[in-house]
Chains A and B, each alone.
Chain A
Amino acid sequence: MDNRLIVSSSPHIRADESVNRIMRDVVIALLPATLAGVYFFRIGAVKIILAAVIAAVVTEALIQKICKKPVTINDWSAVVTGLLLAFNIPASAPWWIPVIGSVFAIAIVKQVFGGLGHNFMNPALAARAMLLASWPVQMTAWVKPGADAVSTATPLAILGGEAAGEQLPSLADLIIGNIGGCIGETSAILLIIGGIYLVYRGVITPRVPIIYIATVAVLTFILGGFSIQFMIYQVFAGGLMIGAIYMATDYASSPVTPKGQVIFALGCGILTSIIRLYGGYPEGVSYSILLMNVAVPLIDKYTSPRVFGEVK
């Protein structure tokens, strides 16, 4: 029997936490918002979501095959990237937009830097920025919810003055997501429910989302002339919810120290508010997170926690 005994370093038991479980939980958390996206934008949304997810998974498998690395598509992380990317694309976009985005996200942003955990930027966000720069028309062709794809402006564009004159949607519509915008950006309430699920499952801490959203709320309230209505629209419209809950909490591209996460979230909030209010572009979430992503190694370095028993 002796040679069959396994000898290894302690600890001898492991938590049943796993990468697969975490990623699967993210997919589950995104499900309500996905269904809402499909409900509001019908077949257009289905097309975009399927194209993005399939392209992401296939790209990951192909690259790993070619590089002779173990294929890890069953860890669900490619599905998450595809889904998040789809959420950031308007339902009216042609099918090849999400495909190009997913290939870019997985091949360039994720795999070139060494795969899961090594990407210093959020792949879905980086892909969105790339798509927006390359195909600005398709990426901002917002449509009204419904089957007939009537074009419209997003609430933020209306607020920001780019689409002045259009009617602002009602607050209720804003929160359920019955508004113009990207597929998954719209239903704030469902995104929040998914976020609560992730906190409950221990996948994310509420630290980053809460601080990020709170910073935007406070700054837009102060800088927006102390208008509660303006602040509420800033918080619930656009990509803030999805960005704060699902993108800024991306493990690989956010700090690992609690203090670092606070700084990161504050930075995201400040940048988002400034870009939205003073930048030439109504939405600032993607760029803010990407900018902060780049600063993460620095933040991590300077926020090393005080070691137990250490006097600082």
Chain B
Amino acid sequence: MNLLSFRGGVHPPHYKEATERFKVEKAKEPDRVAIPLQQHIGAPCEPLVKVGDKVKIGQKIGEAKAFVSTPVHSSVSGEVKQIARMLTPTGEVECIVIEADGLNEVHESVKPKGDIENLSGKQILDIIKEAGIVGMGGATFPTHVKLSPPPEKKIDTIILNGAECEPYLTADHRLMLEDPESIVYGLRAMMKVVNVSKAYIGIEDNKPDAIESMKNASKGYKEIKVVGLKTKYPQGAEKQLIYACTKREVPSGGLPMDAGVIVNNVATASAVAKAIKTGMPLIERICTITGKGIKEPKNLLIKVGTYIKEIVEQCGGYNGNPGKIILGGPMMGLSQHTDEIPSTKGTSGILVFTPEEARLPEPKACIRCGKCVDICPAFLQPLYISAYSLRNMYETAEKYHALDCIECGSCSFICPSKRPLLQSIRVAKREIIAKKRKTK
């Protein structure tokens, strides 16, 4: 097979063996969920219910007026117990706590919406928006916003990201094996929304079975091309994926649409299919629970709002004392202070390290080996940006294009001196952006 790729990148060990062969299991029904009113990029939602209200599965319980935002729905049927600010994976956010009544009643609004052929693009877009669908690869950007480019941007291609280049995670892999049709259906729906006739599904070649499966599922559709990608991190990063598939570079400071492309995750496409076919909004997702710190690693279908602690218990609990809990993959995931936080639409993985694995390496002086420069997929010079950031010279850091960093973490990963490169680059980015805001 002709494998597509980008320049730069690293080869972290995959660690996927622990879960890649396990079928997705349905997680136990939670007794209690806490649904964050902000689990995506954009404006937080206002609650539509109050304490004491009865809610059903799929009922909309939070909504925001802003365009860049997306509603949230209840994942259980039961009673609203509390609406308060609580700790979530991305910090303190207002949450709606619902106690499940075990009846699993589905809300009246949840019913099939029709078929791609009979629905207009605008109608599909509304379904996507109402279903609260966001990018499920981790960035959780509202999908309907992505699918509404300004009219002057000519979009001609949609790319589905099935690379799953993060080590450990196998959620997308399993989805591509177990329900490839839904991915193709969702992709076709999105193609109708933006009216394009070309689509790629990019999958790393360490998942030949997934490539096979997606090829079979998309057989009848000539406009959809399943492409094998070289297994390399960050193959699934938007700009790198676009380059691999189309050889187009997203302009520095621009968005994928500036290259005429929209990128979505395979799980997002599947959620779109579900919203159209059954009317069920995004209230559950596949999550990989893995790592040496977990007794029985699994791929579970979890309801949004389920506590991480409960999910871990269903995987045999912790293997000894956990050293680090990461939501997402090991390269870009967020490490957490506690497991008493709810899962969100973006929880693609729960990765638990043993205390040994969690120990932070001692950073040494930069030896100027140039490895970070060699591998940076954005073609930056991480050593300089980091050095200037550490000296508070943010303007110079900006001259070295700090803002073009995609925060993939490859530089920190490869550095033989174990320097926290990305960490310091993030600081520089924050300072530069803050300053730009001020001067505006």
* Also in contact, A10 and B369, with CB within 8 A (given A5-B337, A305-B381, A308-B252): no
Shortest beta-carbon distance from B163 to chain A in Å? 17
Shortest beta-carbon distance from A221 to chain B in Å? 31
Interface residues on B, range: 35 or more
Interface residue? B400 (CB, 8 A): yes
Give the interface SS of chain A, mostly helix, strand, loop or mixed. Answer: loop
For B339, B401, B416, B418, the residue with the greatest tally of chain A CB atoms inside 10 Å of its CB is: B416
Other than the given A6-B324, A256-B368, A307-B252, 13 more pairs (CB < 8 A) read A2-B339, A6-B360, A11-B331, A11-B332, A17-B371, A17-B416, A18-B417, A116-B364, A116-B367, A255-B370, A258-B374, A308-B249, A311-B252
- Set of chain B residues within 8 Å of A114, measured between Cβ atoms: 365
A307 touches B335 (CB 8 A): no
B358 touches A6 (CB 8 A): yes
Q: Which 9 A-B pairs have the closest CB atoms?
A: A11-B409, A256-B370, A9-B423, A309-B252, A117-B367, A17-B416, A310-B252, A6-B358, A12-B330
B361 touches A309 (CB 8 A): no
B324 touches A5 (CB 8 A): yes
Interface residue? A68 (CB, 8 A): no
- Set of chain B residues within 8 Å of A64, measured between Cβ atoms: none
Interface residue? A206 (CB, 8 A): no
Query: Can you report 21 residue pairs joining A to B where beta carbons are below 8 Å apart?
Result: A1-B321, A2-B339, A5-B324, A5-B335, A5-B336, A6-B335, A6-B358, A7-B336, A10-B332, A11-B410, A11-B412, A12-B353, A13-B330, A14-B361, A18-B417, A256-B381, A257-B373, A307-B378, A307-B380, A309-B239, A310-B404
A308 touches B370 (CB 8 A): no
Q: In the complex, A8→B359 CA distance in Å?
A: 10
Chain A contacts with B in 10-27, Cβ cutoff 8 A? 10-15, 17-19, 21-22
For A72, A117, A254, the residue with the greatest tally of chain B CB atoms inside 10 Å of its CB is: A117
Interface residue? A252 (CB, 8 A): yes
Interface residue? B43 (CB, 8 A): no
A-side interface residues, number (CB < 8 Å): 43
**Which of B323, B333, B339 is A6 in contact with, Cβ under 8 Å?**
B323
- Set of chain B residues within 8 Å of A15, measured between Cβ atoms: 10, 12, 413-416
A4 touches B355 (CB 8 A): yes
Give the interface SS of chain B, mostly helix, strand, loop or mixed. Answer: loop
A11 touches B330 (CB 8 A): yes
Q: In the complex, A7→B334 CA distance in Å?
A: 8
- Set of chain A residues within 8 Å of B361, measured between Cβ atoms: 14
Q: In the complex, A143→B107 CA distance in Å?
A: 94
- Set of chain B residues within 8 Å of A256, measured between Cβ atoms: 368-370, 373, 381, 383
**Which of A13, A205, A309 is B167 in contact with, Cβ under 8 Å?**
A13
Q: In the complex, A7→B333 CA distance in Å?
A: 11
Interface residue? B260 (CB, 8 A): no
A8 touches B412 (CB 8 A): no
For B167, B324, B422, the residue with the greatest tally of chain A CB atoms inside 10 Å of its CB is: B324
Chain A contacts with B in 90-147, Cβ cutoff 8 A? 114-118
Interface residue? B145 (CB, 8 A): no
- Set of chain B residues within 8 Å of A258, measured between Cβ atoms: 373-374
Interface residue? B420 (CB, 8 A): yes
Shortest beta-carbon distance from B352 to chain A in Å? 10
Shortest beta-carbon distance from B132 to chain A in Å? 26
Chain B residues with a Cβ under 8 A of chain A: 10, 12-13, 167, 239, 243, 249-254, 321-326, 330-339, 351, 353, 355, 358-361, 364-371, 373-374, 377-381, 383, 400-401, 404, 407, 409-410, 412-418, 420, 422-423, 426
Chain A contacts with B in 32-57, Cβ cutoff 8 A? none
Interface residue? A251 (CB, 8 A): yes
- Set of chain A residues within 8 Å of B422, measured between Cβ atoms: 9-11
Shortest beta-carbon distance from A198 to chain B in Å? 12
- Set of chain A residues within 8 Å of B355, measured between Cβ atoms: 4, 6
A5 touches B323 (CB 8 A): yes
Q: In the complex, A4→B336 CA distance in Å?
A: 11
* Also in contact, A117 and B330, with CB within 8 A (given A9-B423, A305-B373): no
Shortest beta-carbon distance from B428 to chain A in Å? 13
Chain A contacts with B in 146-185, Cβ cutoff 8 A? none
- Set of chain B residues within 8 Å of A21, measured between Cβ atoms: 416
A12 touches B335 (CB 8 A): yes
A307 touches B370 (CB 8 A): no
A308 touches B383 (CB 8 A): no
Residue interface bits A258-275, CB-to-B below 8 A is 1, else 0: 100100000000000000
B365 touches A308 (CB 8 A): no
Residue interface bits A230-261, CB-to-B below 8 A is 1, else 0: 00000000000000000000011011111001
A10 touches B383 (CB 8 A): no
The closest CB in chain B to the CB of A256 belongs to B370
